[in-house]
Amino acid sequence: MIISVPVPPGTFTIGKTFDFEAGHRLPSLPTDHKCNRQHGHSYQVEVILTGSSLDGPGFVTDFADLAPFKAFLDSELDHENLHQLLPFEPTSELLAQFLAGWFVQNVQPGIAGKLVAVRVRETARSWARFDLAEV
């Protein structure tokens, strides 16, 4: 027997987490602040996408289509000194905004889902999230 229920309207949301290792420092902080000193993190970056309809067999976006984002993290940020590489102080907040911009420019044109946020986690207990504005 096939079970049927009424399907409510709404949107679907998915997320995928990627990771990379990198060092950084925040040189604008006072010299006695611990984040002014060189240190590293095992970063976790989560992209959050939404869609009001589903593609293919029932996907907001096929997770495999997010591979270019992982490739960018691996080739450009992994095992780098972020403060020497990026044109801003690499706080988690600014890194989340930067990664959202890269994703929108390089991944989003080729996928069905729409990026709504990027979360950057430096540690198990601290993270920053950048939410894209509605346009």
Q: 40 with 21: CB under 8 angstroms?
A: yes
Q: Which of 33, 93, 122, 134 is catalytic?
A: 122
Out of 35, 46, 89, 93, pick the active-site residue.
35
* Pair type for strands 80-81 and 12-24: parallel
**Structure tokens belonging to residue 96:** 């989340």
Is 35 an annotated catalytic residue? yes
Q: Which two tokens stand for residue 98?
A: 């930067």
Output the six-digit token pair for 41: 């993190």
The CA distance from 27 to 38, in Å, is: 9
Tokens 């889902």 -> residue: 113
Whether residue 61 contacts residue 112, with contact meaning beta carbons closer than 8 Å, is answered with: yes
Q: Which of 41, 79, 83, 93 is catalytic?
A: 79
Checking DSSP bridges between strand 114-123 and strand 12-24, what pairing results, if any? unpaired
Q: Which residues belong to the active site?
A: 35, 79, 122
